[in-house]
Structure 1
Amino acid sequence: MNRTLSISIAQLNLLVGDIKGNSERILKIVKKYDKYSDIIIFSELSLTGYPPEDLIFRSDFKKDCLIQLKRIQKASKHTAIILGHPWYEKNKIFNALSFFYKEKLISRYFKQSLPNYGVFDELRYFTSVHKNCIVKFKNYRLGLLICEDIWNNKIINSIKNAGAEMLLTINASPFEIHKQKIRNNLLFYHCKKFNIPIIYLNQVGAQDELIFDGNSIILANKGKQIYQLNEFKEQIATVYFKNLTLINKNKKNKKTSYIEQTYKALVMSTYDYINKNNFNGAILGLSGGIDSSLTVTIAVDAIGKERVQAIMMPFRYTRKISILNAKIQAKLLGIKINIININSIFDEFIKLIKPIIKDIKYTVVEENIQARCRAIILMAISNKYNKLVLTTSNKSESAVGYSTLYGDLAGGFNILKDISKTLVFKLAKYRNTISTIIPKNIINRAPSAELAPRQLDQDTLPPYSVLDKILKEYIENNLSKNELIKLGFNKKIVYKIIDLIDNNEYKRRQSPIGPKITVRNFGKDRRYPITSGFKNKII
Structure 2
Amino acid sequence: MKIAAGQINSVIADFEGNREKIVEYSLRGAKEGADLIVFPELSLCGYPPMDLLDYNSFVEENTLSLRWLQRHLPAEIAVAVGHVSLNSSGTGKKLRNVISVIYGGEVIFTQDKTLLPTYDVFDETRYFEPSSERKLFTFRGEKIGIAICEDLWWESARDTDSVYPIDPVMELLDLGAEIILVPSASPFHKSKIKKRLALCRKTIRKGASSVFYINSVGANDSLIFDGNSIVVDRKGRLVKKAADFEEDFFVCDPDDSCNEIELEYDKYGEIEKALVLGLRDYVHKCGFSRVHLGSSGGIDSALVAALAVKALGAENVKTFAMPSRYSSDGSLTDSKKLAENLGVSYDVIAIEDMFTSFLGALEPHFGGREMDVAEENIQARIRGTLMMGYSNKWGSLVLTTGNKSELATGYCTLYGDMAGGLAVIGDLLKTEVFDLCRYINRDGEIIPWEIINKPPSAELRPDQKDEDSLPPYDVLDGILVEYLMNHRTADEIEALGYEPETVEKIVKLVGRVEYKRGQAPPVLRISDKAFGTGRRMPVARKLYEV
State if a TM-score over 0.5 links the two structures.
yes
Change (3 A) 1:308 1:288: same
Matches within 5 A, 1:175-194: 175-194=188-207
Partner of 1:377: 386
Displacement of 1:14 in angstroms is 1.0
**Which residue number in structure 1 is paired with residue 343 of structure 2?**
334
Q: Which moved more, 1:39-48 or 1:90-99?
A: 90-99
TM-score normalized with structure 1 length:
0.95
Letter of the structure 2 residue corresponding to residue 392 of structure 1: T
Name the residue aligned to 1:389: 398
Partner SS for 1:356: helix
131, 148, 151: which one aligns with 1:149: 151
CA distance in structure 2 between the aligned counterparts of 1:483 and 1:250, rounded to whole angstroms: 43
SS at match of 2:441: helix
The match for 1:110 is 112
Matches within 5 A, 1:362-441: 362-441=371-450
1:534 Cα deviation after fit: 4.7
SS at match of 2:365: coil
Find 2:219's aligned residue among 198, 206, 224: 206
Q: For the residues of structure 1 that align with 2:404 and 2:262, how far apart are their CA atoms?
A: 33
Amino acid at match of 1:232: F
> For residues 509 and 37 of structure 1, what CA distance do their matches in structure 2 show?
48
Distance 1:317 1:439, change over 3 A: same
CA distance in 2, matches of 1:415, 1:360: 37
- Quote the offset at 1:188 in angstroms: 1.8
Which deviates the most, 135-144 or 31-40? 31-40
2:147 and 2:169 in contact (8 A); partners too: no
- 1:196 maps to 209
- Aligned match of 1:166: 179
Does the CA-based 8 Å contact 1:239-1:247 persist in structure 2?
no
- Indicate whether 1:67 and 2:64 are aligned: yes
Give the CA deviation at 1:193: 4.3
Looking at structure 2, the residues matched to 224 and 31 of structure 1 have their Cα atoms a distance apart, in angstroms, of: 29
Per the alignment, residue 7 of structure 2 pairs with 11
83, 86, 109: which one aligns with 2:84? 86
Partner of 1:536: 545
Partner of residue 505, structure 1: 514
- Is the CA contact (8 Å cut-off) linking 1:14 and 1:46 kept in structure 2? yes
* 1:81 alignment partner AA: V
Amino acid across the alignment from 1:304: G
Alignment-derived partner of residue 294 in structure 2: 285
Structure 2: how far apart are the matches of 1:432 and 1:226?
A: 33
Query: 2:487 aligns to what?
Result: 478
Alpha-carbon distance between aligned partners in 2 of 1:224 and 1:149, rounded to the nearest angstrom = 21
2:355 to 346, 368, 372: 346
Change (3 A) 1:293 1:361: farther
8 A contact 2:512–2:543 mirrored in 1: no
Contact 1:80 1:100 in 2 (8 A): yes
Partner secondary structure for residue 100 of structure 1? strand
Structure 2 match to 1:51: 48
CA contact (8 A) 1:30 1:75 kept: no
Q: Does 1:448 align with 2:450?
A: no
Partner secondary structure for residue 231 of structure 2: strand
Q: Which string of whole-angstrom CA distances, capped at 9 and with x for unpartnered residues, describes residues 299-333 of structure 1?
A: 00110000000000011110001111101111100
Q: Which runs of 5+ in 1 are unaligned?
A: none
Read off the aligned partner of 1:183 and give its amino acid letter.
R
User: Distance in 2 between the 1:352 and 1:477 partners?
Assistant: 47
Whole-Å Cα distance in 1 between the matches of residues 192 and 240 of structure 2?
A: 19
What is the distance in 2 between the residues matched to 1:296 and 1:355? 40
Partner of 1:99: 101
User: Which residue of the partner structure matches residue 125 of structure 1?
Assistant: 127
User: CA–CA distance in 2 between the matches of 1:536 and 1:43?
Assistant: 42
How far apart in 1 are the matches of 2:256 and 2:443?
Answer: 36
| Aligned equivalents of 2:257, 2:132: Cα separation in 1 | 34
* Aligned partner letter, 2:230: I
Q: Which amino acid aligns with 1:500?
A: L
- Looking at structure 2, the residues matched to 388 and 102 of structure 1 have their Cα atoms a distance apart, in angstroms, of 46
1:310 counterpart = 2:307: no
Cα root mean square deviation, aligned: 1.5
Supply the distance in 2 between the matched residues of 1:360 and 1:295 (Cα, whole angstroms). 37
User: Residue by residue, what CA displacement relative to the aligned partner does 1:118-146 show, whole Å, maximum 9, x if unpaired?
Assistant: 00001111111131121110011111110
Amino acid at match of 2:182: T
Distance apart, 1:293 and its partner CA: 0.6
Q: Distance in 2 between matches of 1:225 and 1:513?
A: 35
Alpha carbons 2:354, 2:382 under 8 Å: kept? yes
Tell me by how many angstroms 1:195 deviates: 2.3
Matches of 2:367 and 2:538, distance apart in 1: 35
**Aligned residues with identical type, % of pairs:** 39
When structure 1 is superposed on structure 2, of 89-98 and 417-426 the one drifting more is: 89-98
Question: 2:534 matched to 1:525?
Answer: yes
Shift of 1:34: 2.5
CA contact (8 A) 1:225 1:246 kept: no
| Residue identity opposite 1:229 in structure 2 | A
Instruction: Report the counterpart of residue 29 of structure 2 in structure 1.
Output: 33
Aligned equivalents of 1:250 and 1:182: distance in 2? 18
Q: Which structure 2 segments of 5+ residues have no match? A: 156-166
Residue 353 of structure 1 deviates from its aligned partner by 2.0
Tell me if the contact between 2:37 and 2:79 (Cα under 8 Å) persists in the aligned partners: yes
Q: 1:383 to 1:225 in 2, by over 3 A?
A: closer
Report the Cα offset of residue 106 of structure 1.
1.0
Residues 44 and 83 in structure 1, CA contact (< 8 A), matched pair in contact too: yes
- The runs of at least 4 aligned residues of structure 1 exceeding 4 Å deviation read 247-253
Q: CA deviation at 1:72?
A: 1.1
TM-aligned CA deviation for residue 362 of structure 1: 2.5
Further displaced range: 281-290 or 128-137: 128-137
Question: Using the alignment, how far apart are the partners of 1:98 and 1:375 within structure 2?
Answer: 48
Rounded Cα–Cα distance in structure 1 between residues aligned with 2:216 and 2:296: 36
Aligned equivalents of 1:435, 1:482: Cα separation in 2: 44
Determine if contact 2:210/2:233 at 8 Å carries over to the other structure. yes
Structure 1 position 357, deviation (Å): 2.1
- Larger mean CA deviation between 309-318 and 273-282 belongs to 273-282
Aligned-partner SS, 1:135: strand
Q: Please state whether the residue corresponding to 1:227 is helix, strand or coil.
A: strand
Deviations 1:395-428, CA, capped at 9 Å, x for gaps: 0011111100100000010111111000000000
